[in-house]
Chain A
Amino acid sequence: MRIDLQDVTVRFGPVTAVDSVSLGIKPGEIHALLGENGAGKSTLMNALFGLVTPASGTISLDGKAHRWASPQDAIAHGLGMVHQHFMLQEEMTVLENIVLCAEPVGRFGFVDFARARSRLDEIAKTHGVAIDLDRRVGRLSVGERQAVEILKVLYREAEVLILDEPTAVLTPQEKDRLFATLKSFREAGKAIVLITHKLDEVMEIADRVSVMRAGRLVASSSLAETSKEEIARGIVGGDLPAARTRKQLSPGETVLAVDGLTVARRGRDVGPVSFDLRAGEIVGIAGVSGNGQAELIRALTGLELVRSGSITLCGNEIQKLDVEARRQGGMSYIPEDRQRMGLALRASVSENANAGRDDAGAFTVGPFLKHGAMAQYARSLIERYRIRVAGPRASASTMSGGNKQKLVVGRELSRNTPLVIAENPTWGVDIGAIDFIHGELMRMRDAGHAILLVSTELDEVIALSDRILVMYDGAIAGEVDGGEASRDRVGALMTSRAADALGAASPGAAA
């Protein structure tokens, strides 16, 4: 099925997210869609899929124009989408998730699960994507979940597949399996749209490349007619920032010592984990999410109880202290979830900036607040970290994601503590902001702070870390020196059972 988008424009209030974009997608091709954060890729695809209604423009399938009333319409016409944030019901089984919204019904609207099972058997045979249908999705790994998403699309007999950043969360091995599956789809004559930020993947698999910037389509050509550099220039609208060089420093004394730490977790405890972190070094923790990194961090920061083991910060045991005491003892924390943990979105920028400050005297008199001093401090952060926001009184929710992240990073780094724990500090922010945040982390390291960097973004860990610890199944699977790290090396350590999820058709990884 051939898709044509003609002059599609999508507006959200005053924002024009997609500005008069025309794009063609042919059957039997993998069409990569690239662009900065907020460029409008997801919105464009959401419009194609009926999740948002375009202000103008037409969508036609095989030359016939359509208007979707809902995604159901689009699905009925053979479109399928795998959203970046998985659209799954954790409490339900795989089977229930797959049939949801496309239920084969028998009498009185009861679902005919047997019929669904036999259909899925067939699909497993043709495309080699299979997974235990009776497991609860909440218990699946990320890769397995993605398999469920793909099964959902296949189950609906989609002719067109839209995948929004499917590889961001996969290990290299899992990615290979996914790509193998995509190639089998291409052979079957399906049209595939692949949104990604990773140029290497585009070079590896795409047939055609389109680039968006600020809502407009700036380039669209077949892969053969373009180059990696050209695409990159198209994305950022100029030249790329120069690669970062790391100053060689000799690490100082131990700031954080973790010894035999175990943390309770449903199913199986995390740990025991032991490692040291010294002043002036960045230690990265890599791993597929769900392998215990989150629990480890929560235990270090005091958000969760430690089951056993010790944590020593600047010579003091802190495993029994609460969050406040640990922070005062020299720890700062940039949480991964800025919306929920990093900021109180409905509070003002100033209120957010001053939270958790140690120097209470600077903005209080007795029990009262000095609003002026608080605003002043917020303004200083805004300037120093180049945060784009109306002012200290603006609600934190009015900032874009990158700016929110800068505020969190700014607030935490300005505490100047010996230890900084940064969890996915650049998750979902665009190239400019990533560069800035990386720069700040390096600056802190050079100034002699110890930084624990936890990231699911392998490239980030490799680029910044002096040492890399890889976590797998609740324990540290290995350590790699920053200088010798490569994607494959670290990726191999991250190997997980999840790699089997996409079936035996693709080259397997040793488990």
Chain B
Amino acid sequence: ADKFFVYVSPDQIGVNAFLKLGQAGIEEAGEKYGADVETYESRTAADRLENVNAAVNEGADIVVLLGFEFNDIVKQVAPTAPDTQFLIVDQCIDDRPDNVHCAVFREYEASYLVGVAAGMLTESNKVGVVGALDIPFLHRYTDAYADGVKSVNADASVDIRWVGGENPFADPVRAKEQAVAMNAAGADQIFTATSGGDFGVFEAAKEKDFDVYSVDVNQCPNAPGHVVDVTLKRVDNAMVQAIGAILEGEKKLTMALGLKEGGVSTIALEEDELADSGCLIADHPEVAAKMREVAGQIEDGSLKLEDPMFAK
């Protein structure tokens, strides 16, 4: 092939559904546009820089970078590599040169919807959320979820906890313990955004029999009968679209993808998938209906949500 795309992940791809989607996206784009593709996985901040440099050095036409971790690096590297196009998925930077493009998501819109469901379904009036690490990005999940809960159930209390520890994005043991602890404290609806830890939360749900919510892709089959709904993030679609636009010569492309653009979603909104999803939401049509209603308000702008990432 005459074109060469490189996807640089910010972390180990592993079971991280989001990063896996990025890999799927680059492969799809490669097929669609006839390009060789490669994936460079990073583990550390230093790796990220080295990988981006290596991608340029290996002559990539388009370097796709997933995650906000690459902002500084792109700022440094892009001006020195005018022949390479950089696509940052998930965040954008100011004062970009022409060869830097962005595609961002408004995950908090979907998280808010999931919060709405949890707020309606809780019987104890206590809900919980576990994030991997107390970082701003994950507040898009945790805070938006909490806001969603409060919007339908002002009395409900939301317990926000973090996995932390030595290995926050892949510590199912601690994730599970957090979920168990929250459940013991009364929470019956728990949202998990813990990457590798999600499995731990699912196990806790199976053992202690409570409802969970998760992120990125349909995880309902991982704990049948316990996952109510998940937020979806269409990284692959976004990537293919953005790469197409870049190949057509677009400069400083910016794509922002929320509910409206179909960049994020939840199972409840996907009426054709709903029945076979294995998600509990299928058994709660009134909740799904409410979620669709709120989604409509968000899409038409009548309900405005703050991006929790920049809060504080």
A–B touch (CB < 8 A): the answer is no
